[in-house]
């Protein structure tokens, strides 16, 4: 899934551009508070290889979740505050989300709270932050809202991350991250940490990315992921991206090789991706997906996506169809 940028209107820090309808107020000369939101509604049909799996009709047998067509909605708000100092900006933000599922009920929660500082030295952030490995390796070949193809598993839930983003150094940047799981999350008697590193070099017509995750929260100390990605601008309207990942998880080696193409036709985009998954043990998979989105108005779009996940076992996800809408305010 696309990792959308944080909704916070961090205008003073210069980290996120304002949405057309975002609300912000100044508190004194140096502090800005902002509220921004996003509404998503989608209908999706996700099927396993055996679409009859656990669909007996008996009230005592729950159907496999992947064989349920579902109408989903989510309303998300992010509240943020930025304080400017002489040499840096400090910020905090928190997301509040209400979700509803046709088959699964509704839920109200808060998540993804972060705090950080940003200046000429770069940016330091604490809290719920996306993996910097995912940002540069997974997301390079993931233009989708819902039809994301298989990736390596980073092995932690990103709730407690300490992240450093370097400034741009003549096109080169590096990201350092420590992911922490406490004993309640990992089931052992002490906390565990994962070291995650990524770097990028932007050469104007594209960029090269490299990433590493030591999977330190896994039980097997030999587990790790190494990834490479490249992104190329094909003129003003098209982008080609490739990546390759080498994962060792529980003693099993798996390679992931992906390619994605996005074409901007003005009011929207057409995009697609192909992914080859090659484990040392078990069958290989060739997955592909296509999609398109269209801007009805500024900050309001519709989209549709189709995917074939090439499932192998009966309970593997095999295909996806989704149509949806997104409105930012």
Q: What is the pLDDT of residue 6?
A: 36
Q: What is the pLDDT of residue 224?
A: 95
Q: What is the pLDDT of residue 104?
A: 57
Bridge partner residues of 110 (DSSP) = 96
Token readout for 1 is 């899934």
Bridge partner residues of 245 (DSSP) = 227, 256
22 in any annotated domain: yes
268 in any annotated domain: no
79 in any annotated domain: yes
104 in any annotated domain: yes
This prediction's pTM: 0.85
Q: What is the pLDDT of residue 56?
A: 47
Query: If we measure between CA atoms, which residue out of 17, 26, 12, 168 comes closest to residue 85?
Result: 12
225 in any annotated domain: no
Q: Mean pLDDT by 10-residue block, N- to C-terminus, for the chain (329 residues)?
A: 41 39 75 90 86 54 59 88 92 88 63 90 95 97 96 86 96 96 58 90 97 89 95 95 96 96 97 96 93 95 97 83 95
**Domain that includes residue 110, residue range:** 1-39+73-121
107 in any annotated domain: yes
Phi then psi for 7, rounded to 5 degrees?
Answer: -75, -15
Give how many domains the chain has, as a whole number.
1
27 in any annotated domain: yes
Q: What is the pLDDT of residue 141?
A: 98
Q: What is the pLDDT of residue 109?
A: 66
Q: Kind of pairing, strands 122-127 and 105-119?
A: antiparallel
218 in any annotated domain: no
């Amino acid at each position: 899934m696309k990792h959308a940028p944080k909704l916070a209107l961090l205008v003073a820090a210069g980290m996120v551009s304002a949405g057309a309808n975002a609300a912000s107020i100044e508190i004194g000369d140096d502090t800005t508070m902002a509220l921004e939101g996003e509404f998503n509604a989608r209908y999706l049909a996700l099927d396993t290889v055996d679409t009859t799996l656990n669909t007996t009709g008996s009230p005592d047998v729950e159907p496999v979740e992947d064989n349920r067509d579902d109408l989903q909605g989510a309303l998300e708000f992010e509240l943020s505050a930025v304080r400017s100092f002489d040499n840096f900006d400090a910020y905090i933000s928190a997301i509040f989300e209400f979700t509803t599922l046709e088959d699964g009920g509704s839920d109200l929660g808060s998540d993804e709270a972060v705090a950080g500082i940003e200046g000429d030295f770069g940016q330091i952030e604490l809290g719920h932050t996306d993996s910097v490995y995912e940002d540069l390796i997974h997301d390079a070949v993931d233009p989708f809202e819902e039809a994301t193809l298989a990736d390596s598993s980073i092995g932690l839930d990103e709730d407690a991350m300490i992240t450093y983003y370097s400034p741009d150094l003549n096109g080169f940047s590096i990201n350092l991250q420590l992911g922490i799981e406490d004993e309640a999350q990992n089931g052992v008697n002490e906390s565990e940490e994962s070291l995650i590193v990524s770097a990028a070099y932007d050469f104007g017509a594209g960029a090269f990315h490299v990433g590493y995750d030591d999977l330190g929260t896994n039980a097997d100390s030999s587990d790790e992921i190494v990834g490479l990605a490249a992104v190329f601008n094909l003129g003003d309207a098209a982008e080609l991206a490739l990546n390759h990942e080498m994962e060792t998880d529980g003693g099993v080696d798996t390679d992931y090789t992906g390619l994605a193409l996005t074409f901007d036709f003005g009011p929207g985009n057409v995009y697609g991706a192909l992914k080859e998954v090659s484990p040392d043990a078990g069958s290989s998979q060739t997955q592909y997906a296509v999609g398109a989105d269209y801007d009805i108005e500024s900050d309001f779009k519709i989209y549709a996506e189709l995917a074939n996940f090439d499932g192998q076992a009966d309970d593997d996800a095999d295909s996806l169809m989704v149509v949806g809408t997104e409105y930012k305010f």
